Structure 1
Amino acid sequence: MSRQAERTTADGETGSASGPDGRAVAAALVTVLLWASAFIVIRNSAGYFGPGALALGRLLVASAVLSVLLLVRGGGFPPREAWPGIAGSGVLWFGAYMVALNAGEQRVDAGTAALIINIGPILMALLGGWLLKEGFPRTLMAGMAVSFTGAVVVGLSLSGGGQSSLIGVLLCLCAALANAVGVVLQKPALQHATPMQVTTFGALSGAVACLPFAGQLVSQVSRAPAAATLQIVYLGVFPTALAFTTWAHAVSRTTVGKMGTTTYAVPVLVVFLSWLFLGEVPGLLTLCGGLLCLSGVAVSRMRGRALSPAPEAGPRSRAAGQPVAPAPGRGK
């Protein structure tokens, strides 16, 4: 690409003046579809595997695949300075996030879980403003208020479903928080190690943290049908290892800001796939609350354009499924 064809974007990154790279768009679409499918598979596996066992199985598979990819690329071990961030993000982002999300999806439908999880970027921005001294713009606070209102609406809409549904909403909120803290902890690690190193050893750290569920995993795999066990393999290979790789490929060819907007499609796809494969559709009030959550995230991301036309200091991380990829993003 010639210098004349390049320009600096509002995210402070270099992009193409002629528009997004076609392969980047294709990679982003693959990522979004795989992340959306994770919510459906998790919900479908709830009858065979406990939250911890499902998380451990998924992480073991993902760790194996990512380790092979790292060896093929000659990545090696990350430097010592990166390990605190890798271990912290691995335990929270890969471990706690997945366990909480799995537990939440045993109590609420996949579409509702996806809508709640998508408040993650606001939580990341709040933590970044506090821990990384990135500030608290007015649009961020406004977006937080809108998303909080949406979460309350979702909770009220499910109150008729009993205590289990409300616990499910709280577990999904805990998953979003664990995801956000993990992303913030990961940011310093990326200054010392490659995205592939951080992701691979983060997945390994999460798997180690979930080892207490090993006995449960072995017991439940022995009783579950082969199709249910294959779902664990699917979660580890596709929404985790492959989706993180395609997301990194997409971001490397364009900007995080542009690709981050594609993840807004995840809850929409989850609601559609949940209806198609599981026969589940969130109620109208729940959908309205979920849309408020997404609207709050959109408002919070307006700050770069609203406050100043100058480029931002750096890209803002995104949060599906949950765990976010080598480049700032959110995996499921």
Structure 2
Amino acid sequence: MTTRAEAPARSTHATAAAAVTVVLWASSFVAIRHAGTEFSAGALSLARLGLGSILLGALLFTRPRPEAAVRRWPAKRDWAPLLACGVLWFGVYNLALNDAERRLDAGTAAMLVHIAPLLIAVLAGFGLGEGFPRNLVIGGLVAFAGIVVIGTSSSDGRAELWGVVLCVIAAVSYAVGVVTQKPLLSRLPAAEVTWLACTIGAVVCLPFAPALLDELRTADATTIWWVVYLAAFPTALGFTTWAFALRRTSAGRMGITVYAVPVVAIILGWLFLGETPAALAFVGGALCLAGVAISRRAA
């Protein structure tokens, strides 16, 4: 049970972990832009999740643990939500999003995928009993308005139907994956949940192994290093810090927090890819950050 004195530290740690996640997930857009030039959607997903699983497993099983800490294998009741999280969020989400970004411009994809945080808030409100705090609802709507502004400013107006469908599939998979993950974190360590879900996602992507082997033979070394970065940082580290933060706050609040990802991605794209965003995108970014700030305020 958390004491009143421990609560501020717990909140600070969760906020710091969420900030790390936002930066790493935003950086993945830059990495995917590079890696996607030589790797297909399925091969990239398998490489990212497979290597991420290996790195997470190595960290999990080789790091020293205090004598009081016991590594708990999931109970029978844990496997259904674990499978849902791994298959949907790690497997289906990556496959759908990687393929969608080959068919849609970034602005349209961002608008569609970022219906996920609102879905998370709704699913957590009903399914997890988190309810609908006023600040969460207001912040979510403000942040979503920011996403619409960003998407409108960067969209070319052409949306392929299958690309739209894939983005919606990615958003729904993302939302359901988060909501199924949340109860697990009250019973299992965050690192173990992340490793198991990532491993399940990698297994889902195994049919793309032949394509990955073929593409590795012809890929440039720089591109391969971008894939390694995706696996080590946005995947292994980013999902671990996400789980750490999610364990210490509500699913709805964490979902709204990721509205900051497109804002950071715009900045990183400007710095590393020379992509100058439209002026309207900065207005959308300000709305996203304002919405996140509102949602994380105590009621």
TM-score normalised by structure 1 residue count? 0.70
Partner of 2:118: 122
Q: Does structure 2 conserve the Cα–Cα contact (< 8 Å) formed by 1:40 and 1:270? A: yes
Q: What SS does the aligned partner of 1:160 have?
A: coil
Structure-to-structure mapping, 1:93-132, within 5 angstroms: 93-106=89-102, 107-109=104-106, 120-132=116-128
CA distance in 2, matches of 1:202, 1:242: 14
Within the candidate set 10, 15, 38, 2:8 is matched to 15
For 1:163 and 1:29, locate their aligned partners in 2 and report how far apart those are by CA, in whole Å.
32
Contact 2:51 2:228 in 1 (8 A): yes
Counterparts in 2 of 1:64 and 1:160: CA distance versus 1, 3 Å: closer
> Which runs of 5 or more structure 2 residues have no equivalent in the other structure?
64-69
Code of the residue aligned with 2:197 in structure 1: it is G
Q: What is the aligned length?
A: 288
Q: Give 1:36 shift.
A: 2.5
Is the CA contact 1:94–1:203 (under 8 Å) kept in the aligned structure 2? Answer: yes
Match of 2:54 in 1: 64
Hey, what's the Cα distance between the residues in 1 that align with 2:30 and 2:53? 22
- Aligned with residue 232 of structure 2, among 237, 249, 252: 237
1:53 to partner: Cα distance: 1.4
Deviations 1:171-199 (A, max 9, x none): 55543332221011112333443222211
* CA RMSD, Structure 1 to Structure 2 (Å): 3.8
From the superposition, tell whether residues 287 and 171 of structure 1 become closer, same or farther in structure 2 (CA, over 3 Å): farther
- Give the fraction of aligned pairs with identical amino acids, expressed as a percent: 47
The separation in 1 between residues aligned to 2:90 and 2:150, in whole angstroms, is 25
Q: Which amino acid aligns with 2:57?
A: S
The structure where helix makes up a greater share of residues is: 2
Q: How does 1:81-160 map to 2 (within 5 A)?
A: 81-106=77-102, 107-109=104-106, 120-137=116-133, 139-158=135-154, 160=156
Correspondence for 1:188 among 183, 186, 191: 183
Structure 1 unaligned blocks of 5 or more: 1-5, 306-332
Is structure 2 residue 26 aligned with structure 1 residue 52? no
**Distance change >3 Å, CA 163–CA 124, structure 1 → 2:** closer
Say whether 1:285 aligns with 2:280: yes
**Letter of the structure 1 residue corresponding to residue 266 of structure 2:** V
Corresponding residue SS for 1:163: coil
